[in-house]
Amino acid sequence: MNSTTSHRFHWAWVILGICFLDLFVNYSIRLGYGVVMPEMIQDLGFTRMAGGTIYNAYLFAYILLTPFAGYCTDRFGGRRVITICSLILGLGVFGMGTAKTLTMACIFYALAGIGATGMWTPVITVVQRWFAPHRRGLALGILGTGYGFGLAAIGLAFPLIVHAYSWRYAWYILGISALLLSVGNGSLLRSDPKTHGYKPWGEKTEPLDPAQSPALSGQPLPRSWSNFIKNSNFWLIGFSYFAVSYCLYGITTFMVDYARNQIGMPLEKASLLATIHGLGQVVGVLTILPLSDYFTRKRTLLVSNALIALVVIGIFLFGKSWLSLAILIGIMALFYGATFPLYGACGGDYFPKQVMGTVIGLWTFLYGSGAMLANWISGLIRDHSGSYHQAFLIDAVMAGIGLLLMCFVKKTLRSGRA
């Protein structure tokens, strides 16, 4: 890339495109587990709690290493981290297709979880660096369609794959896709615009001199980087993320199993809920995230968390037919899709860019902890009671807690906005 060439086409859009594919494949793998799980555990003779344990092996590896991935992104640049992680992700997911025991499934999905550490925190950090602050909502909205389309695609394709082959081929196809992505990431990603003569898209477009812009890789973080853990906003946002993550995973992981085995829907209809969920996410990120640039991240999250709680209560009270469940899942998906980028964008809004990856990585640890807890508790409740109703009530309470915590987040000193 030559910094002396015209920048009519900004490389930020290439970055956004390859990062979109990263999220598309990664979230087909992560959120698609809830679609594959009912067939997988039935074939292998596992309980639902065992199914939750497999997912938690993924999440445990993911949350344990995500803060390290965030630090490495700040220290060495996102390109290296994302490329290596997409390779590891592909190997783990392909191995899932060969699993015959609970131990094998946990090991392979944990390996996938290690790879997935590079598919969110580094990705969202790199994208935010390539776009000006007042354009981040737009960029993250476009980026966020990747995981919505990913879930929608697996919801449509999985019944066809099962009928033609078996659930194992879903993992084979996704694993190969992740391996191919490692080539694209290594070839096209750039960690920071300044090192290649660019300014973030949305700022002045005159080319920069790379010789006057020190490379991100190898530069030490500011000595005060750890001070953010003393900031109350860090903990309020982080634990709000934890609570809302619990709620969302408590629904998403088990919604296909709920529809198929508690309500009695056929596989095609139950899997179609994932497609509705994914397409709803796409609409949500394309509308809610750009609006957050104007209404502030805090206000947008307050509205989003409140409506998520109300929808979960609606699923508990009225989600007993396919039509009502599809409508409620679709409404929840509008805000589900925006939730994770909104919390990620708070890292850029409330903290310096030099520690953005580390902050988002530590928040992701809390997010993953909420998801793991939801998988175990919801699966345990279903195994012992034969119903998800109590689990859904807990999900609604957790969404309310997430809303309450965000109410106490203070304005940022840099922008004066909350």
Output the six-digit token pair for 238. Answer: 């982080």
Provide the pLDDT for residue 341: 79
Residue 131 pairs with which residues in a beta bridge? Answer: 201
User: DSSP 3-state helix, strand, coil percentages of the chain (rounded to 5)?
Assistant: 80, 0, 20
Report in angstroms the alpha-carbon separations of 187 from 26, 335, 352. 19, 34, 28
- Count other Cβ atoms within 10 Å, centred on residue 324: 14
- The chain-wide mean pLDDT, for the chain, equals 83
Q: What is the pLDDT of residues 311-343, one digit of tens each?
A: 999 998 988 888 999 999 999 988 887 888 788
Contact of 242 with 369, CB cutoff 8 Å: yes
Adjacent-strand bridge partners of 201: 131, 203
> What residues does 203 pair with on adjacent strands?
201
Average pLDDT over every residue of 174-182: 94
Confidence band (pLDDT; 50, 70, 90) for 237? very high
pLDDT digits (tens, 9 = 90+) for 143-164: 878 777 887 888 888 888 888 8
Q: Per-residue pLDDT for 221 more than 50?
A: no
Q: Which residues contact 258 (CB under 8 A, 6 or more apart)?
A: 388
Of 241, 58, 95, residue with least CA distance to 174? 95
Least confident of 116-120, 204-208, 257-261, 320-324: 204-208
Q: What is the DSSP letter of 354?
A: G
The highest-level CATH class for domain 12-204+228-407 is: mainly alpha
Could you give the CA distance from residue 255 to residue 392 in angstroms, rounded to a whole number? 10
**What residue ranges in 263-341 does DSSP mark as E strands?**
none
Distance CA 227, CA 223 (A): 9
Q: Is the pLDDT of residue 199 over 90?
A: no
Lowest-confidence segment of 124-128, 348-352, 397-401 by average pLDDT: 348-352
Query: Domain extents for the chain?
Result: 12-204+228-407
Distances (CA, A) of 123 to 27, 74, 129, 181: 13, 12, 10, 13
Give the whole-angstrom CA distance, residue 90 versus residue 106. Answer: 15
